[in-house]
Amino acid sequence: MLRPPHSRYRRLHVYHLSLAAMPEIDDPDYIGGWLEDGTAILFFHADRDREIKGLCREKGCQVIYQAEMDYEDWEAGLAVESFSCGGLTFSPVWEKSGADIVIDPSVVFGSGFHPSTRLAIEGMCDLLAQRPGIESMLDLGCGTGILAVAAAKKGVRRITALDNNPLACRVAERNAAANRTEITVIEADLRKDEPDAEVDLLVANLYHALLVELFGRKWFWRPRFHLIAGFIPAMEEELLAALPDPPPRFLDRRRQDRWCMWLLQSPSS
């Protein structure tokens, strides 16, 4: 996340360490990090070779991989800048633009530039306009919290956003506060944890294998409406086959740059 003296991301220095627990790092150049498969991935604004060597000596770990790159390369080669989508304007925090929503994308998913995020924002905003009764939402795999913040700006009153990446959770909390929205952020792993799905709308922009797994869970189908995204046309067949019986009703089905989005309504509503 951004904190003084930094007001934007330029270069990223990434250290991947054989560490099973996150180290305490008190450094203004530290952006954040997370654990992945028993290793720690740490992001800094500047070179921290000397400090990382010291950390490895102290903890008895090793550098598995290290890289330095432009922030734009981390963001798939795209400049993160203002854009409009779903009737809302979005802006990264470093642009003083008066946008409806400001986002610190940090180094987690959800800057708004991925077609899947755009499709989800558009589909969600259209659904909220067509169904004014939607008052609560669960955002599964919230990343930066961009979808949750957009839903709050569109009037959804009770929103829970969930991610298994602790940095994404902190970033989503920060983005919710920066946009003066009240969103409950929960750190949880959807492969084992069952969130409270007593909501009107469930939004899931997730990788397709996890979607297939979640389609098999009873709690996943509790909400009246579902927005499903994060998959490409070649994966649709497998997802269709994983839908429950009786299947939900398709309200909408869209594609953008080879990414797909479904809007579903439960058969009992």
Ligand X SMILES: C[S@@+](CC[C@H](N)C(=O)[O-])C[C@H]1O[C@@H](n2cnc3c(N)ncnc32)[C@H](O)[C@@H]1O
Regarding 90 and contact with ligand X (CB under 6 A), the answer is no
Residue among 47, 49, 73, 189 that touches ligand X (CB under 6 A): 189
Regarding 263 and contact with ligand X (CB under 6 A), the answer is no
Give the binding-site size for ligand X (rule: CB under 6 A): 21
Regarding 143 and contact with ligand X (CB under 6 A), the answer is yes
Regarding 108 and contact with ligand X (CB under 6 A), the answer is yes
* Residue 15 vs 111, nearer CB to ligand X: 111
Regarding 147 and contact with ligand X (CB under 6 A), the answer is yes
* Residue 48 vs 114, nearer CB to ligand X: 114
Nearest Cα neighbor of 153 from 131, 198, 173, 183 is 183
Residue among 92, 105, 141, 248 that touches ligand X (CB under 6 A): 141
Regarding 190 and contact with ligand X (CB under 6 A), the answer is yes
Regarding 92 and contact with ligand X (CB under 6 A), the answer is no
Q: What are phi and psi of 65, to 5 degrees?
A: -160, 145
As measured in angstroms, the least distance from the Cβ of 259 to ligand X is: 10
Regarding 230 and contact with ligand X (CB under 6 A), the answer is yes
Regarding 168 and contact with ligand X (CB under 6 A), the answer is yes
Q: Which residues bind ligand X (CB under 6 A)?
A: 108-110, 117, 120, 141-143, 146-147, 163-165, 168, 189-191, 205-206, 210, 230
